[in-house]
Structure 1
Amino acid sequence: MGITVRPAQMSDIPEVARVLGIAFTDDPLFEWLIRDDAGRARRIAVLFAAQARHHFMPLGGVEVACNDANSIVGVALWAPPGHWHVADADTLRQLPALVRSFRHRLPVVARMADTMMAAHPREPHWYLAAIGTLPGVRGQGYGRELLNSRLDRCDAEGLPAYLESSKPSNVPYYERFGFEVTTTLDATEGGPPLWPMWRNPR
């Protein structure tokens, strides 16, 4: 079985969003934010499509993992050093998608984003905003190849990497790649916690 990791193209955005929408359907944070079980994957996909188009793609931060049939089965969204914060103009471009995704929960999302932003490290680093694979390929190495693709670059550039895990079962997985939990973050005011994780370059 061959795994291909490549930079995403603008034409990939619908499939990038679809894959991430499915991948994050059982994520505790999204389950808490979007109570609509039947529509959750679609609403998450709307969010990730906007984020990819208006923030991560222009920064060269979207990578996809493809199977032998050249179908996208995994996606990673990275922001390079100095660009983890979404500019106000880009936030405005994403606003219609944010409303469609979160509806009446949008004020909760805004407060959560403010808390995450305040806790975000200021030292230059690569920021892994999201990574996900389709359930049917989990355990087959697609996530590993996606992570290693950008972490190898981090090591070559001598730069750290940072992420916030919203699923406790993923923490040991990231630890295998050199990430370490720095704290437990309550960004949801009593909802599911986040585990910020930092990785020094090797």
Structure 2
Amino acid sequence: MTPIRPARVAEVPAVGRLIAASFDHLPQNRSLVPDEGERLTVMGDFFAFLSESAPQGGKIDVIEDANGGLVATAVWFDRTRQLPEIPAYEERMTALAGRWLPNFQALDELFEKHHPEEPHWHLAFLAVHPDHQAAGLGSALMQHTHDRLDVPAYLEATNEDNIRLYERHGYTRMSPFDIRLPDDTPFFRMWRP
């Protein structure tokens, strides 16, 4: 594997596809886009869309394999300051989500309602391609940023395996910990002081 490096702007669509492939098994992705035939495309576009604003208000780190393919990524947002507005957010979300737009609107409402106000860095996405999981890449990506942070960090975990990983890296369960989409699909709020 190559060292951790910042993603290039041209790689953002590939970052979105990597996150979608890494998260495809999760009930959260299935809740947002129930149709298996559409899920990877819609979720890839969604993750790329959100990630494209990270370089202006955070960062995207990547790890690639020996052939130059992206195998792991971490997308962070600097919430110690006002994030820049995402241009044409509503229009672009409507176009990429299509008939699943109400599910994404519910996700936005849930996350906005429960996002901490204290200044922090937000780990929006930590993704490792399924063929490269359990090799320490996610831990390496987190540690790469944790070593440089002098403020707290926040994330929304998706399952017990992720919760254990984040706890090993100093994250603790917040209150409320378990927040849910309208169909009862959970996310779990975690904070690293």
TM-score (structure 1 length as normaliser): 0.86
**Is the 8 Å Cα contact of residues 57 and 83 (structure 2) preserved in structure 1?**
no
Does 1:123 find its partner at 2:122? no
Q: Which of 170, 175, 178 is 2:167 aligned to? A: 175
Distance in 2 separating the partners of 1:20 and 1:84:
25
- Structure 1 regions of 5+ residues with no counterpart? none
SS of the residue corresponding to residue 147 of structure 2 reads helix
**Is the 8 Å Cα contact of residues 81 and 119 (structure 2) preserved in structure 1?**
no
Distance in 1 separating the partners of 2:183 and 2:139:
32
Name the amino acid aligned to 1:193. P
Which residue in 2 is equivalent to 1:48? Answer: 47
| 1:11-57 Cα deviation digits (max 9, x unpaired) | 1112212211111111211111111113311211111121122x212
Return the offset for 1:169.
2.4
Which residue in 1 is equivalent to 2:104? Answer: 109
Return the offset for 1:173.
1.1
After superposing the two structures, state which structure 1 stretch, 69-78 or 104-113, moved more.
104-113
Aligned residues: 192
Which residue in 1 is equivalent to 2:9? Answer: 10
Name the amino acid aligned to 2:142. L
Please give the residue correspondences for 1:26-45 in structure 2 after superposition, counting only pairs within 5 Å.
Answer: 26-45=25-44
TM-score (structure 2 length as normaliser): 0.89
| 1:47-94 Cα deviation digits (max 9, x unpaired) | 1121122x212224111112233321011110013358663xx16246
Distance in 2 separating the partners of 1:195 and 1:60:
22
CA pair 114-84 structure 1, distance change in 2 beyond 3 A: farther
SS of the residue corresponding to residue 25 of structure 2 reads coil
SS of the residue corresponding to residue 99 of structure 1 reads helix
CA pair 197-151 structure 1, distance change in 2 beyond 3 A: same
- Structure 2 regions of 5+ residues with no counterpart? none
The sequence identity of aligned pairs, in percent, is 25
**Is the 8 Å Cα contact of residues 74 and 143 (structure 1) preserved in structure 2?**
yes
| 1:107-126 Cα deviation digits (max 9, x unpaired) | 23213312221211111111
Name the amino acid aligned to 1:66. E
| Structure having the larger proportion of residues in strand | 2
Supply the RMSD in Å over aligned alpha carbons.
Answer: 2.0
